[in-house]
Amino acid sequence: MAKSCVLSKEILDGFDKYKYNAVDTNPLSNYVMHPFWNRVVKFVPLWIAPNVLTLAGFLLMVLNFVTMIYYDLDFYASSRDHPEHPPIPNWVWLMCAINNFLSHTLDGIDGKQARRTGTSSPLGELFDHGLDSWASFFIPVAMYSVFGRGEHGVEVFRVYLVLLGVNFCFIISHWEKYNTGILFLPWGYDLSQVAMTSLYLFTFVTGYEFWKFTLFGFSGAEYFEIIMYVGFGFSFPITIWNVYIGYRDKTGKMLSLSESLRPLVSTFILFALMITWAKYSSYEIIQKHPRIFYCTTGTVFSNIACRLIIAQMSNTRCELVNWLLVPLFTIVITVCFLSLGVLEFYILTGYGVFVTVSHVYFGICVVRELCTFLNVNAFTISASDSNLTIST
C-alpha cells in the first residue's frame, strides 16, 4: 500500500473498524422520502457506483449556484428599487427547482444504491457527508436570490448570520456523533430541501414580485429569516439532550468536558474571525462582495467539518485548530488595523481561491488513500467491490 500523506495509520485503522450507526426519527423522511427513494433507486442501473450519484447531486447544487452568480452576482436582481440590475429570468427558478429536487433525491438514494450493489463502505458515508458539508451554505444563499437586497429584502450581513446558523446546525450533528457514537439525523435537512424546491416552484409560477409584501410589519424575506432561526432553536436543544443522555446512561464515549468541546473550537474561531472581518472592514467587504465572502466561509467550514467527520468515523482525536485559520487570522488582524481599500478584495479573492484549492486537494487525497486502504474504487463498481459487507 502506498504511503498515506493525509490520513495517518491510526485513522486508517479506525476506518477499518468503523460501523455505521444512525438514528432517523423524522416523519417526513420515514413516511414520505424513504418510501419514494426506495422506488426511485430501482430505476438506477446496478453498474452505477453510489458515489457517482452523490457527486452528481452535489454538482446540480453547484450548477444552481453558478447560474445565480451569472444572473444575480450581488443579490440585487430581485430588488425593484435597483432597476439597473435586470430580474432573474423566470425559467431559472424552474431549473433550480428541478435541480434541487434531483439533488435531494440522488442524496437520498446513494446509500440505497450501495446496499443494492453490495458496495457499502466507510468511503461512501464520508464522501456523502463531506460534500453535504460544502453544500450546506447553498441553502441560505440560494434563498437570498429569491428575495434580494433592498426593498422587502434582507441586508447581506443578516443573511450571513443565517448561513453561519446553517453551518452550526450541520457541525453540531457531527459533534453529537463524536461524543455519542451515534449520528442522529437532523430533521431540518429534508424539510429544508423540500421547502427550497417548493420555494423555487412557487417563485416560477408567481414571479419574484409575489414576495414583495409586508405583513404585521415584516416582509416576506424576514418571515423566512425568522423561520430559519426557529429551526436553529429546535435543533440545538435536541443535540444537547442526546449528548446528555449519552453521559447519563454511559452509552457515549464519556469524554471530559474539554475533549468533548474540542471539535467545535475551529468552527467558533472561523465564525469569530469572519464576523470580525465583516464588521471592521473599512472597505465594507461583505457589502461589496457578499458571494465571495459567503463562499470563502463555506469552504473553510467544509474543511473543518470534513476533518471532524474523519475523526468521529475513525474514533480518533479531532484536531483543535484547522491550519486554514492561521492565514485567516493574519488577514483579519491586518484588516482591523489598516485601511487597505480595494486591496482587501484581492486578499479575500486570493484567500478564497487558496482555501478552495487546498480543500479540493485534501478531498482528493482522502478519497485516494481510503480507496487504496479499503481496496475499493470510488466511482466504478468491480467484482471485488461488490463483496463488501460493511453496512452503511
Instruction: Please write the tens of the pLDDT for every residue from 168-220.
Output: 999 999 999 999 998 888 888 889 899 999 999 999 999 999 998 888 888 88
Residues 227, 228, 233, CA angle at the centre, nearest 5°? 95
pLDDT at 382 over 60: yes
- pLDDT score, position 385: 55
160: pLDDT strictly greater than 60:
yes
Average pLDDT, the chain: 91
CA distances, 86 to each of 70, 72, 82, 96, 278 (Å): 12, 9, 8, 18, 27
Query: In terms of residues, how long is the chain?
Result: 392
The pLDDT of residue 384: 55
pLDDT band at 330 (very low <50, low <70, confident <90, very high): very high
Tell me the pLDDT tens digit for each residue of 261-320: 999 999 999 999 999 999 999 999 999 999 999 999 999 999 999 999 999 999 999 999
pLDDT of the residue at 113: 95
Between 232 and 2, whose confidence is greater? 232
Question: Which pLDDT does position 79 carry in this prediction?
Answer: 85
Question: pLDDT by residue (tens digit) across 39-98?
Answer: 999 999 999 999 999 999 999 999 999 999 999 999 998 888 888 889 999 999 999 999
Distance CA 262, CA 171 (A): 12
pLDDT confidence bin for 233, thresholds 50/70/90: confident
pLDDT band at 151 (very low <50, low <70, confident <90, very high): confident
Query: 155, 342 in Cβ contact below 8 A?
Result: no
Minimum mean pLDDT range among 210-219, 334-343, 381-390: 381-390
List all residues 6 or more positions away from 65 whose beta carbon is below 8 Å from its beta carbon: 138, 141, 142
**pLDDT tens per residue, range 92-120:** 999 999 999 999 999 999 999 999 999 89
Q: Contact 102/113 with Cβ under 8 angstroms?
A: no
Per the structure block, which three cell numbers stand in for 274? 469572519
Neighbours of 233 (CB within 10 A): 10
Share of the chain above pLDDT 70, in %: 96
pLDDT surpassing 60 at residue 363: yes
Confidence of residue 4 (pLDDT cuts 50, 70, 90): low
Q: Which residue has the higher pLDDT, 225 or 354?
A: 354
Question: Could you tell me whether strands 218-219 and 214-215 are parallel, antiparallel, or unpaired per DSSP bridges?
Answer: antiparallel
pLDDT at 328 over 50: yes
**Residue 293 and residue 278 in contact, taking contact as beta carbons nearer than 8 Å:** yes
Q: Which three cell numbers stand for residue 233?
A: 432553536
pLDDT at residue 137 is higher than 90: no
The Cα–Cα gap between 329 and 77 comes to 34
What would the mean pLDDT of 373-390 be, rounded to a whole number? 71
